[in-house]
Chain A
């Protein structure tokens, strides 16, 4: 009888995949969740735009006003021509955790920020800035996005089109590591980095992409 019970218990626990303690069971499930949240590796950024010929890099990343563009700027500005609807892409895979429309306190213009969380440590921010004080244009910008909050996007997938209303319309591409803005140059694929840097140097000859 005792042997039967032991065999039955052993068979049951082998079959059931028992967890020994609540903490271990939660950890096991958290590991499963971790795989859904994002990869453990660092991001490898691709092109944030669809066609290189459609955009000009107007400003790079800087922590200091001594950069060629004369101001601290925590992002890369991808400038487009007025009246266009150019497509922007997810530079890496991730979860859309924020889509926010608001009026920029400095310029007074509306903008729409999209945040894509790559993993626990890294996120990307696309600030769609149509350069307009008209709220309806910002609504049009939201309507031109292909994504929604809570959605997973793949690398290279279209985020949406930038509605270029005013002169100076651009996407400000920000990159964060552990909630701090960082220069993304070390995370771009070499060909993309070369493409972006070359574009920036058409505006600021000899400039670096980042000044820290």
Chain B
């Protein structure tokens, strides 16, 4: 499973790099977009999305800002697994009419029940990513960044913290 993820990562990387390069070569801007006005498609509609391990909603909160709320979970071989609630704020840096870069601080709180460990946790991070609009109502985003993960077991009350690199990928379905 670990290698499936890594191969998937390579495929997505390759795909996005191709898209980025194609977009950078000057794909014609949609008519009425104002030609060089890169931010003309911002103030985007809201979307629901699917991530690797979550469902999410992306709400515009400004011309170049969007809030993402997530509800996610993964199973465990023993125990109920991990459930988490996440919030992030995306600051977009428009590149082309179909491609945006973004920065995103990210906060997650979690309940975990994995093998002998059961408790609450948090993951705080900041990512850098790109979002590509495949279709007018379909977007693909991909970001990566360092996260500080803190877990506290209920009983015994022992804790664990670490820094981890995390990749997030999402498919966004824009509603209107």
Name A residues whose Cβ lies closer than 8 Å to a Cβ of B.
2, 5-6, 9-10, 13-14, 16-40, 95-97, 117, 119-120, 150
CA distance A10 to B7 in the complex (A): 10
Task: Work out how many contacts link A and B, with CB atoms closer than 8 A.
Answer: 155
Sample of 12 A–B contacts (CB below 8 Å): A2-B18, A2-B21, A5-B17, A9-B10, A10-B13, A21-B52, A22-B168, A26-B123, A27-B112, A30-B117, A34-B115, A117-B156
Main secondary structure of the interface of B (DSSP, over half): strand
> Are A30 and B167 in contact (CB-based, < 8 A)?
no
Interface size on B, residues (CB 8 A): 56
- A25-B116 in contact given A20-B9, A30-B121 (Cβ < 8 Å): no
Residues of chain B with a CB closer than 8 A to A33's CB = 114, 117, 119, 151, 153, 158, 160
Point out which of B79, B115, B118, B144 has the most chain A C-beta atoms below 10 A from its C-beta. B115
> Are A31 and B53 in contact (CB-based, < 8 A)?
no
Residues of chain B with a CB closer than 8 A to A31's CB = 76, 114-115, 117
Name B residues whose Cβ lies closer than 8 Å to a Cβ of A.
5-6, 8-10, 13-14, 17-18, 21, 51-54, 70, 72-74, 76, 78-79, 81-84, 86, 106, 108, 110, 112, 114-119, 121, 123, 125, 144, 147, 149, 151, 153, 155-158, 160, 162, 164-169
A38's nearest neighbour on chain B, judged by CB, is B116
Residues of chain B with a CB closer than 8 A to A37's CB = 116-117, 153, 156, 158
- Least CB distance from A141 to B in Å reads 23
CA distance A195 to B53 in the complex (A): 53
